Amino acid sequence: MDIRYRIRGGIPLCGDIAISGSKNAALPLIAASVLANGETVLHNVPWLRDITVMLRILEFLGAETSFQANTVRIRTHKIQNRKIPAELVSKLRGSIVLLGPLLSRFGEVEMAYPGGCVLGKRPVHAHIAALEQLGAKDLSSDEMLHLKGGLKSGRVILPEFSVTATENAVMAAALIDGEVRIDLAAAEPHVQDVERMVAAMGAPVEGIGTHTLLMRGQKTLKPQTHTVITDYLEAGAFIIAALVTKGKVRLHGADPEHLVSFLSVLKRMGAIVKIEGDHIFVDGELSSLKALEVRTNIFPGFPTDLQATIGVAMSQAQGVSRIFERLFEGRMAYLYELEKMGAHIEILNAHEALVIGTTLLRGRTVSSNDIRAGAAMVLAGLCAHGETMITDVRYIERGYDRFDEKLKSLGADIEKIIMEEKNTQDEDALLPLQEGKFAPLKVAR
């Protein structure tokens, strides 16, 4: 299905917006349901394509699932270990977080290599290294990931600060009867949410929010009812949207502690952003943005997933800004799309670019290169003169819950356009027909 956004820019966004639950937390929390026999209930789950695909994978394994009013229910009484085909995981990088819980519960996991956004090299070696240190044997081929063996207590030293490898290690350790220490653990807010969930299930976790974790797993865990944290990446996008359109927006539900580095950067840029209890108020009308340098880093550093949105803000700031992307290759591709709209960009190398402002952006047809780049192009369209057409919206809708509807509620002139429909077995065919119980799977078995 070819979905596009048509945006007529130049309208200041004004009003109040509620921030949705975090996709990056919800996906591993759904995977964590595999660890316990019973019904897991997750509240504040965003209504996204990636979430529905992950639930479809659990259904393929025998789980019963429902998704209604942002609440997911997963019953794992009949779940079984099965080889997960590429048809289910090739469009969802997040499915990698099933490795740990399936291996820990069944002693073996076999699945096709996950897909998702193209952000340069995103290998699985950190996941395999972590699980091997817990006793697993790597039997993977060029086509399939395959890990087998009973897990044992001990120490895991992750080869990098990988978010999903940390989550896999935590979930794998949860069913190990003994103490596991995890060093070089990622500490992002969504990782902390998974750790809190696992602890509530009965496997205590010490060091939540730090890079060293101490866990004591249990042979049996209890399913939980859990509320997913709000999405600080969505919050960041709406903050930038208010700034570049010179609007006034109040965000509800966003946690400022998840955005400490991001908010510090905005303050130095000259943005007027105020913390009002559990609200964040953005005054783009009175803000006067100036150039600065941003380097992405692991949490609590500046989030790589907000690098593209800050790039748009830099195009509206006075002076020469510099971006250093430390974590991913391929994350600068959106700058070529921004150039089409009139931004003055100098790409120095795959990880470094200059953005010279202030420039008047003009509406053009531009594409979404990945989830975060797609959101950035929406923000560019909102502040551009004239009409912008954004293609490949399927990327955006994998990461932002009803993004166009929320922007409309703030006054944006944005329209979703369905160009054509295809009767093919792509990721759209995996979506539920409506909220509630899913339609039967059509998967080669």
437 φ/ψ angles, rounded to the nearest 5 degrees: -75, 140
202 φ/ψ angles, rounded to the nearest 5 degrees: 125, 0
Give the C-alpha separation, 138 to 157, whole Å: 17
Is 117 in the active site? yes
The structure tokens 């992307």 sit at 325
Buried b / exposed e along 216-230 (16+ C-beta atoms within 10 A): bbbeebebbebebbb
Q: Read out DSSP for 359-378?
A: ---B--EEE--SHHHHHHHH
Cβ atoms of 169 and 306 within 8 Å: the answer is: no
Between the alpha carbon of residue 383 and those of residues 379, 386, 444, the distances in Å are 7, 9, 46
Give the C-alpha separation, 87 to 90, whole Å: 6
The HSE-up count of residue 317 (CA atoms within 13 Å, CB side) is 28
3-state secondary structure of 74: strand
Cβ atoms of 169 and 134 within 8 Å: the answer is: yes
The structure tokens 């560019």 sit at 380
Cβ atoms of 4 and 208 within 8 Å: the answer is: no
If one counts every other C-beta atom within 10 angstroms of the C-beta of residue 364, the result is: 20
Among 3, 61, 109, 117, the one annotated catalytic: 117
Closest CA to 438 of 57, 113, 76: 57
Q: Read out DSSP for 187-234?
A: --HHHHHHHHHHHHHT--EESTTSSEEEEE--SS----EEEPPB-HHH
Report the sign of the C-alpha dihedral through residues 250, 251, 257, 258, in that order: negative
E strand segments, 87-203: 108-112, 137-138, 144-148, 154-157, 179-183
Cβ atoms of 404 and 4 within 8 Å: the answer is: no
CA angle 346, 347, 352 (to 5 degrees): 120
For the beta sheet containing 225-227, the strands, ordered from the edge strand earlier in sequence to the opposite edge, are 225-227, 39-43, 71-75, 64-68, 436-437
| Most distant CA atoms of the chain, gap in Å | 62
Parallel, antiparallel or unpaired: strands 154-157 and 179-183: parallel
Residue type (1 letter), 275: I
Active site residues: 117
